[in-house]
Amino acid sequence: MSTPETTTARTAAQRTAHRRRYLMCRPEHFTVSYTINPWMEPARPTDTARALAQWQTLYDLYRELGHEVELIEPLAGYPDMVYTANGGFVIDGRAYVPKFRFVERAGEAPAFAEWFRAAGFDTVEPHEVNEGEGDFLLAGDTILAGSGFRSTDHSHREVGEVFGREVVSLKLVDPRFYHLDTALTVLDPVVAPGQTPGIAYLPGAFDAAGRAILEERFPDAIRVAEADGAVFGLNSASDGCNVIISPRATGFEAQLRERGYNPIMIDLSELLLGGGGIKCCTLELRGTEQA
């Protein structure tokens, strides 16, 4: 596994790591007891202790990289709560709460709303079905919004009204990539006004209209191969320099190095049995200072 210390001189010259603030949840109750995405097979055994160990490695790495990590208490009976990215969408100290599509996860929403309020966030309850940062990604000043499997098209209008920002809708068409954050990652969480952030995406996960939008708006984006997308390589987290990815996404690793990023490999294979990876376990908490 590469480490923060392996950052090359080229990376140091070209890329800046920005301190981030994340919300995570220990997978103390992790298991796969139902199926709400193609990755989940209840007949396949899961190892909660292994899931905890893998999650802890990710948590420790964030801390080592200088990021702040908050924790929400896991609730018994909600094994998917470890995937905190679905627990909300936060910009400028305002939190837009999820409204889950499936009843199996519905009970998580009040817990996330309570956490946001207690932490001092301006908390907005939704009317429309949405699954937080799973389907909403901030790229510069623009919200990229996914639909097709979980969050509805109507939630795109609502999230735009909540944050007063442009929303670009992208239709997902492959059920394996049921959230936007499984098919697209924002590599530059902080950019100068008017600057286009770097992104990476899996073209085959989007319909023709979505691919056209991405090609027009992000002509320099990294287009990731099917082999890397299929191992959740795009379900990654970046601070602008260090990009945490699946160790099996070797092609994506090489692409990142070519662009001057520092890929760091973290294995979350046990949590992938529930259909989640690195980004799924990571909800960004953007305060006014991180706008």
Residue-number span of the structural domain to which 252 is assigned: 10-290
| Catalytic residue, candidates 25, 241, 280, 281 | 280
CATH number at residue 274: 3.75.10.10
Task: Of 40-44, 153-157, 168-172, 221-225, give the lowest mean pLDDT range.
Answer: 40-44
13-45: per-residue pLDDT in tens? 489 999 999 999 999 999 999 998 999 999 999
Number of domains into which the chain is organized: 1
Decide if 3 is inside a domain.
Answer: no
Decide if 1 is inside a domain.
Answer: no
The three-state secondary structure class of 254 is: helix
Identify whether the C-beta of residue 22 lies closer than 8 Å to the C-beta of residue 69: yes
Decide if 2 is inside a domain.
Answer: no
Residue type at 267 in one-letter notation = D
Question: What is the per-residue DSSP string for 70-134?
Answer: EE-PPPTT-GGGG-GGGG-EEETTEEEPPB-SSHHHHTHHHHHHHHHHHTT-EEE--SS-B-GGG
| Catalytic residue, candidates 67, 179, 241, 281 | 179
Residue 186: its pLDDT value, please? Answer: 98
Give me the mean pLDDT over the 265-276 stretch.
Answer: 96
Nearest to 236 by CA among 261, 209, 205, 217: 261
At residue 288 the predicted structure's pLDDT band, cuts being 50, 70 and 90, is low
Pair of tokens at residue 291: 């706008």
Q: Is 241 designated active site?
A: no
Decide if 240 is inside a domain.
Answer: yes
Identify whether the C-beta of residue 122 lies closer than 8 Å to the C-beta of residue 93: yes
pLDDT above 90 coverage of the chain, percent: 92
Q: What is the CA radius of gyration of the chain?
A: 17
Token pair 């899961």 is found at: 46
Residue 167: its pLDDT value, please? Answer: 98
Mean pLDDT score of the chain: 94
Give me the mean pLDDT over the 230-241 stretch.
Answer: 97
Decide if 167 is inside a domain.
Answer: yes
The conformational region for residue 13 under phi > 0 = left, psi -120 to 50 = alpha, else beta, is: alpha
158-183: per-residue pLDDT in tens? 999 999 999 999 999 999 999 999 99
What are phi and psi for residue 118, nearest 5 degrees?
A: -65, -30
In this structure, the number of other CB atoms found within 10 A of the CB of residue 99 comes to: 19
